[in-house]
Structure 1
Amino acid sequence: MAEENKDIGILKEIAELLNEGTDTNDVLSGVLKRLLQVTGLQTGWIFLMDEHGTHHLAADEALPPALANNDKQRMCQGGCWCVNKYNNKKLTKATNIMECKRIEDAIDENAGETCGLTHHATVPLGAGNERFGILNVGSPYKTHFQKNELALLEAVAYQIGTALKRIKLTQREQETALIAERNRLARDLHDSVNQLLFSLSLTARAGVEMTEQDEVKQTFGYIQDLAQDALGEMRALIWQLRPLGLENGVVSALKSYAEMLGLSIEANITGAASIPVTVEEALWRIGQEALANCKKHSQTTETSLTFHTAKDEVVMSIKDRGCGFHSGENLEIPSLGLKSMKTRTEALNGQFHLKSKPGSGTEIEIHIPY
């Protein structure tokens, strides 16, 4: 009875920690630390897994030097028995892993102290049909976990999985709310500032026609030109806030955006897979920036768009036939816009490639997995 009460107390503490957080890494780090404290275990780590079976170290506590050396490189790459078992969908409950392959490899390579850690328990993290990764815990010289210990770890893993799903849903709601706010702001700009600038342009045009004085004509003409430039900037801003036509796909939206900028764009589209909203949004923003660069810097209006979707990756290329510039792997990316494109791409675990030579135009190529 005392043991059951202790387990209930542990689950209550873990639940309270999980309910407080909204950042995945902070939540997992806090829960792992507290779990080890209340169970008396000494070492643990959490791998989160993507749909391709690639793992990343999301949290860890008290790793022995053999695993922590070289910025935890041993934990961040390569396969192991528990990861392979998870990817093969053979890890369905808390399990005794008799030996840790990462520890074994570290010993074989004389990579550092293991502090007596040789074994760990492995527990899958999930909620319903969704799978998120694995929880590993162990202690020096502990080679076996009892059934009640595994049952407790499994209960904690269910709680962690539910919390991860909650955080994921919360982030999705925030993204939806952000898009709604962008739409509202775009409507407000269109209905107020955009109309005022249009009225100013008409008034200036009328002033040019009504006056006979050259100096006054020039002033009104200058005002009209400024209003027209501001209208162009405003339309571009509204496009960036609310991509009209994105409901018809990112390619359609980019073609319309290019036409609005006065660019001639040739599109080549292959593949028919559906891509996630977050990926489509990122490609839209990257494409906007790339086309804006073509308009501002390329000294040409000729551009091309290549868009390919496969079952697990989307590839987008935007190329102009303009003046180009010096670029290369060892050269720093020359503009904030290009750096922004690279950052957006890498935020989704994608690859950003820039190719340009003076007189040979510029091409950006984006690979994003999903």
Structure 2
Amino acid sequence: MDEQSNVTLLKEIAELLNEETDMARMLDGAVRKLLAGSKFETAWIFFINDKGKHQLVAHANLPQALQDNDCKHLQKGGCWCVSRYRNGELKKASNIIACQRIESAISTKAGDHGGIIHHATVPLQSGEEKFGLLNIAARDTIRFSTDELALLESVAFQIGSAIKRIGLTKQEQELALVKERNRLARDLHDSVNQLLFSVTLTARGGVEMAKDEEVRETFSGIQHLTQEALNEMRALIWQLRPKGLESGLLEAVKGYADMLGLSLETKVTGVIQLPSRIEETLFRISQEALNNVRKHAGVSNVQLFLSVTSSDVLLVIKDEGRGFAIDEKRYVPSIGIQSINDRARSEGGSVDWSSEIGKGTEILVRIPY
């Protein structure tokens, strides 16, 4: 591939990266353009977190052996390139002498390996901030040339810069969302919340002043309904602006339980040092679960167990209330239950339910981080 072709390819990739705002589409489009405009035949990208755990986030034109069982040979296990990356020894594009993942896929006879026996790798980074690895391979190719590795480094530099840009944009969007939530929470508190409180006081006064029993019952009904609406409004304001989350996940959940009139017993295993995104997800899930207890369980005591390991966090919320029967064929999840499922899955997690009439409900949420 000549120098002019490389320049054209880099220009096309740069244009795609600058236009794209979605991380997944950006990575997928970049590797496909790289393969279309070069002699490289297959590519995949790992994101690697601060703990050294890798995640396959994009790939293109993988042979059958590497695609087998949802790319299990790329998803699991260790390898030279990830180990060198973790140790800080991988600084530039390099040829890999042997790849454990490819060897494993070939040895298990998972399918045609397409002549892919080795690969080259290059770190993805922006300045001092590292994100992961870009790996490329071609049929019956053991080593790539210096020019091919230079092209790989140039593409990796572009992708690293785009990852940084999209990350910063996402942070700005999240900050704007928090500000909007806070504004809406203030508006609800200052207007609707105060109005409901005034109606409650007026209805209470009507109960005390009315002499006719039917009128008293009417005012009493208004007072009860308004108080319920006031409680719902306070819960909504909490959901928009979770007070106490800055003091930690458990303090925020305890505060929300107190606001709902629930007694929360907590037990923690491991050290809670979670990313803010995971912490808020767990808080929102806890809110939904506690709301379900208040509305449906018929009890005021709830247990919360939180177990944190080096790779994931397990949240268990349990009550000994009314419970419900789950018929897998007929059961349609409520909005609250569906919300818990959606929030967990958005972070790559899972949710399990255990409930029985008269014996309470237990929710188990597991989220990797």
Q: State TM-score, norm by structure 1.
A: 0.87
Query: 1:86-101, aligned counterparts within 5 Å?
Result: 86-101=85-100
1:215-226 matches, cutoff 5 A: 215-226=214-225
In terms of mean alpha carbon deviation, does 45-54 or 34-43 score higher? 45-54
* In structure 2, distance between residues paired with 1:150 and 1:165: 22
Q: CA deviation at 1:89?
A: 3.5
Q: Which residue of 2 aligns with 1:151?
A: 150
1:45 aligns with 2:44: yes
Contact map agreement 1:201 1:227 (CA 8 A) in 2: yes
Residue 277 of structure 1 is matched in structure 2 by 276
SS in 1 for 2:233: helix
Deviation at 1:172, TM superposition (A): 1.8
Corresponding pairs, count: 369
2:37 is paired with a residue whose SS is helix
| 1:178 paired residue number | 177
Tell me whether 1:296 sits opposite 2:299 in the alignment.
no
Alignment correspondent of 1:65: 64
Corresponding residue of 1:322: 321
How far apart are the structure 1 equivalents of 2:58 and 2:13? 15
Shift in alpha-carbon separation, 1:173–1:365, aligned structure 2, 3 A: same
Q: State the one-letter code of the partner of 2:40.
A: L
Counterpart AA for 2:249: V
SS in 1 for 2:120: strand
Report Cα offsets for 1:188-229 as digits up to 9, x if no partner: 111111111122222233333444333333333322222122
Range with greater deviation from structure 2 (37-46 or 191-200): 37-46
1:101-121 C-alpha deviation (Å, 9 max, x unpaired): 444444434433333333322
- Contact 1:47/1:135 (8 A) holds in 2: yes
Contact 2:351 2:363 (8 Å CA) reproduced: yes
SS of the residue corresponding to residue 223 of structure 2 reads helix
Q: Report the CA distance shift for 1:319/1:64 in structure 2 as closer, same or farther (over 3 A).
A: closer
Match in the other structure for 1:27: 26
Rounded Cα–Cα distance in structure 2 between residues aligned with 1:249 and 1:35:
44
Match of 2:202 in 1: 203
Secondary structure of 1:322's match? coil
Aligned residue for 2:123, secondary structure, equals strand
How has the CA–CA distance of structure 1 residues 27 and 325 changed in structure 2, closer, same or farther, with 3 Å as cutoff?
Answer: same
User: Alpha-carbon deviation of 1:144?
Assistant: 2.1
Q: CA shift at 1:178, angstroms?
A: 1.2
Segments of 5+ residues of structure 2 without an aligned counterpart are none
User: What letter is aligned with 2:96?
Assistant: I
**CA pair 316-63 structure 1, distance change in 2 beyond 3 A:** closer
| Distance in 1 between residues matched to 2:145 and 2:53, nearest whole Å | 30
Would the alpha carbon gap of residues 150 and 330 (structure 1) be closer, same or farther in structure 2, given more than 3 Å must change? farther
Give the CA deviation at 1:351.
Answer: 4.8
CA distance in 1, matches of 2:307, 2:347: 17
SS at match of 1:192: helix
1:142 maps onto 2:146 in alignment: no
Change (3 A) 1:333 1:157: same
Give the direction of change, closer, same or farther, for the CA distance of 1:208–1:357 in structure 2 (3 Å limit): closer
Matches of 2:332 and 2:248 in 1, distance apart? 29
Partner of 1:348: 347
Letter in 1 for 2:297: S
Retained in 2: the 8 A contact 1:327–1:354? no
Question: 1:327 and 1:209, CA in 2 relative to 1: closer, same or farther beyond 3 A?
Answer: closer
Cα offsets for 1:219-277 (capped at 9, x unmatched): 33322222122111111111111112222222222222212212122334565543321
Amino acid at match of 2:26: V
Aligned to 1:187: 186
Aligned pair 1:337/2:336, yes or no? yes
**Cα distance in 2, alignment partners of residues 282 and 61 from structure 1:** 31
1:69 and 1:369 mapped to 2: Cα distance?
23
Aligned with 2:114: secondary structure? coil
User: CA, structure 1 residues 302+114, in 2 after alignment: closer, same or farther (shift >3 Å)?
Assistant: closer
Matched, 1:160 2:154: no
Conserved 8 A contact 2:73-2:104: no
Q: Is the 8 A contact 1:352 1:364 kept in 2?
A: yes
Does 66-75 or 295-304 show the bigger shift?
66-75
Alpha-carbon spacing, 1:147–1:27, altered in 2? closer, same or farther (3 Å): same
Q: What letter corresponds to residue 51 of structure 1 in structure 2?
A: D
